[in-house]
A and B are shown apart, each in its own frame.
Chain A
Amino acid sequence: QKEVEQDPGPLSVPEGAIVSLNCTYSNSAFQYFMWYRQYSRKGPELLMYTYSSGNKEDGRFTAQVDKSSKYISLFIRDSQPSDSATYLCAMSARSGAGSYQLTFGKGTKLSVIP
């Protein structure tokens, strides 16, 4: 079983739809949860960062973490064609050396159709 599972999609939605992206994980040591957006031929861009269970909102984006179920989600409201990208979940646990190594999901490719 992989540490982080993410449905690769592709996911295609009409403009204005609510998008739900999800990841599950198996490592209870994960403490920090992130969502990155990656456009084609670009590096990942940090979208959301959460530490505790619960919801965090930033504009049209809401990140949700449920540590008891080992499940995280990213919701995009009023989706726009410019949201078309690959969305990567990432998680980290503090290593013995004091660093935070990120473990990524494979990414979900999203297309928002005008």
Chain B
Amino acid sequence: KAGVTQTPRYLIKTRGQQVTLSCSPISGHRSVSWYQQTPGQGLQFLFEYFSETQRNKGNFPGRFSGRQFSNSRSEMNVSTLELGDSALYLCASSFPGGTEAFFGQGTRLTVV
């Protein structure tokens, strides 16, 4: 059974640019969550999508947005990139109503 797939694995962007990250959940999982991981703050919740609707949102600025498609695949977008956005962005998927979250390998974003 394939795990959570995130693309791309690595990205280098310039300040002010925007970026889109992609996540394909485990087959049958309809809930997709995004997390930001940095050495200083650890893993922080960005948002969760279920059935194409954002169900929960963390404490991040509006520059961070996401969406989910009918096949449960999800994308997150960060606009007007800042140096502080450099981080490992992780996607996790769960069964509907499930509390066990399974993570992908992450996308490492570097903003220069």
Contact = CB atoms under 8 A, between A and B. Distances in A.
A49 to B, nearest CB: 5
Nearest to B98: A100
Interface residues of A, number: 25
B33 A102 contact: yes
A72 to B, nearest CB: 15
Contacts of A98: 55, 97
Interface residues of B, number: 28
A69 interface: no
B105 A105 contact: no
A42 interface: yes
Interface string B100-111: 111111101000
Given A44-B90, A44-B103, A101 B56 contact: yes
Interface of B: 4, 6, 31, 33, 35, 42-45, 48, 50, 55-56, 58, 90, 92, 94, 97-106, 108
A101 B33 contact: yes
A107 B41 CA distance: 11
A106 B40 CA distance: 9
Contacts, number: 63
Given A43-B106, A99-B48, A101-B48, A34 B100 contact: yes
A32 B90 contact: no
Contacts of B100: 34, 46, 49
Contacts of A32: 99
13 contacts: A36-B103, A41-B108, A43-B6, A44-B43, A49-B100, A92-B99, A95-B55, A98-B55, A101-B45, A101-B58, A102-B92, A103-B45, A104-B42
